Amino acid sequence: MRFVCVNDAAPLPTIESLAAACRARAIEFLDVDARSFDYAPERQLQAGDLMYRPAVSQAAMRVEQFLWRQGVVTFHAHPDGVFFAPHTPPLCFERVGLPIPRTVYCSTTNRKRIEQYVARVGGFPLIVKMLGLANGIGVMRVDSFPALFSLLDYELRQGANPLLVQYIPDAINWRLIVLGEQVIASYCKSPIANDFRAQVTGKPAEFASAPNLSIQHIAARAAQALHVEFAGVDILEQADGKLFLLEANFPCYYFHAQEYGGIDIASMMLDYLAAKAAPRK
């Protein structure tokens, strides 16, 4: 059995933890560099091989798709799921009834239309969000029409399709790691000084409590909505208990839970894929 890691500058702790989990299980670990990949037909994998792409680049996605063949085991719910990543996850969540913030998909610089959009998401401040990025990059708070108009002019000229999203203040920012249909790890992020975003600092308090079952249920359903069996899900919890699903990331950075929370996520990932492959032996 082989575990194939499709890499393109993915975080080193991710690669090292997956390699270590493979060594502990006598599973061959193959690190495939997307940038130097030769696309030779003999590189395609065999039925029973395990594959995960921790990189988010288009180059890595193409290599993943090229390597896949029937019987290769991934974290996609459907066997050929490597070919069908949703372009706009919030619409997937909304369609299955998950509680996302009010969201408008903006592709215009028409001032009157933008004013209507702003009213629809609840006014200022609001969030302008670019999909496909990580670590808070592309998530921008905007507090006025002049700032919003100039930002949208720039983003749309660059060919982007930003989202205008309701701003949710004073909420706990949960990150949950979903594997299969279960939440296997969770922690809350700490506010950043002079910023509206949050980050993981490794403080014990971030890992001291667990989210309630409603939050865990939303996280599991978010992964299911994207047809993946592994995801990092971000949910906001307000003081009154109201919940907002922000995103579900696949692939996701899980190592905070492993490093600070003491949960061996990489080993659980390997065991899950190996069990999924077992009936094909």
Q: What percent of the chain has pLDDT over 70?
A: 98
Average pLDDT of the residues of the chain:
95
Q: How large is the average pLDDT for residues 198-217?
A: 94
Q: Are strands 2-7 and 28-33 parallel, antiparallel or unpaired?
A: parallel
Q: 23-82, pLDDT tens digit by residue?
A: 999 999 999 999 999 999 999 999 999 999 999 999 999 999 999 999 999 999 999 999
- End-to-end Cα separation, the chain, in angstroms: 10
Q: 112-151, pLDDT tens digit by residue?
A: 999 999 999 999 999 999 887 677 788 999 999 999 999 9
* Residue owning tokens 């009213």: 119
Q: Which domains does the chain have, with CATH numbers?
A: 2-75 (3.40.50.20), 102-166 (3.30.1490.20), 171-249 (3.30.470.20)
Rounded Cα distance, 170 and 236, in Å = 9
